[in-house]
Amino acid sequence: MRGPSDCDSFRIAFIWHHVIGDGRSGLAVHQSLLESFRLFEDDIDCKSNRPTTASLEFTCVPTSPKPLFLPMEKMLPNSSAPPAPAPLQGLKWAGNFYNDKSPILTKLGHIRVSANSVQRILSQCRKHGTTMTALLQAIVAKSLLNKVPSDRIRTAVAVSLRRFFDPKLEIDDSVMGLWISTYTTEYHKTQFSQNAEKLDSLWKISQQNTAQINGVMANHGKDVEIMGLMGVHDYSAAVKSRVGQPRDNSFGLTNLGIFRGVSTVEGQEDIAIDDMFFSQSCHANGAAFQICIVTVQGGDMNVVFNWQEGVVLQEEIEGIVGGVRALMGQISFSE
């Protein structure tokens, strides 16, 4: 977050449990915080106003009188878990098998895409009739298949369910809660050109991804993967039964899109969020690694990779991150 001058800038982190909020919940909290800072009319001298330990007072926030939201099966009454996609031929890569060893350590990798590169890549996406999410899904898939000996992979991409709810529920992007599902896609190594200079197959896969995303939107929340949890009666037993079993998905991808951190109101332009990162803990019982993306309006896009130590080899993840960085750069300078 920045103020009128560089010395007014600072970083703030919001850390929350996934069970109480999805990625958009994090954006909602930051948006609310930003709007609150803009309410201050005068400068605050933080040094002179800093309280001593003895004078600290804690405010107990009263419980909200609003009723709890309905369970998902009530909010999307016509939804059910979609059938599993038919697997492609060949050996699937999904990292090492699930284990319950402790501690579970999360490892992180990061790519920063400059604002100018983001605009050039978006221009290429529009030219080829696709989207940033669909393109990133294809780029990561190609980079992964280039670095592992297996022939196929399976991806899971997060999709927000908020748009499918009855407007009377008043669940929009300003509300905190967990309303996401995923759609899955399988890729085979033969779908991608082995010629590093050619991007035709990458754009073709990206267009297919876009068609799948459009199909998910057109279903209006009728195929929701998490509805499969309704049939689970003992979560502890279900999780423990996965120990020693292969993972379903090779990687997961969540793109939060653009955070609008700059105000259009005169006099408030100086108070803004001009950089943002989004990450998750590793999914011990989920995909081998995750990719988390967020872009600040008019600014850089940050792509964060997270994985569990021991599930993905260091040389594998380094190769994947390097491949994604190279392809993003190649696309940003393509004609």
Give domain status of residue 278, yes or no: yes
Distances in whole angstroms, Cα of residue 335 to Cα of each of 127, 331, 332: 10, 8, 9
Rounded to 5°, angle at Cα 262 from 257 and 265: 135
Q: In terms of residue numbers, what domain contains 145?
A: 80-332
Comparing C-alpha atoms, which of 212, 173, 199 is closest to residue 26?
Answer: 173
pLDDT at position 254: 97
Q: What pLDDT sits at residue 71?
A: 85
What is the spatial distance between Cα 21 and Cα 17, in angstroms, rounded to a whole number? 7
Residues counted in the chain = 335
Q: Does residue 27 belong to any structural domain of this protein?
A: no
Domain-located, residue 300? yes
* Domain at 249, CATH number: 3.30.559.30
Ramachandran category for residue 244: left, alpha or beta (phi over 0 → left; psi -120 to 50 → alpha): left
- Spatial distance between the Cα atoms of 16 and 320, rounded to a whole number of angstroms: 28
Residue 21 lies in a domain: no
- What pLDDT, on the 0 to 100 scale, is given for residue 154? 96
Does the residue 93 lie in any domain? yes
The Cα diameter of the chain in Å comes to: 67
Inside any domain, residue 69: no
Does 38 reside within a domain? no
How many domains does the chain divide into? Answer: 1
Paired tokens of 233: 């009666």
- What integer pLDDT is reported at residue 206 of this predicted model? 97
Q: What pLDDT tens digit does each residue of the chain (335 aa) get?
A: 666 556 667 888 899 998 889 999 999 999 998 888 887 766 656 555 565 666 667 778 888 787 788 888 888 888 888 887 788 888 999 999 998 877 889 999 999 999 999 999 999 999 999 999 999 999 999 999 999 999 999 999 999 999 999 999 889 999 999 999 999 999 999 999 877 678 999 999 999 999 999 999 998 888 888 788 888 899 889 888 989 999 999 999 999 999 987 776 676 667 788 899 999 999 888 999 999 999 999 999 999 999 999 999 999 999 999 999 999 999 999 87
Q: Which helix (H) or strand (E) holds 123?
A: helix 115-127
pLDDT value, residue 5: 59
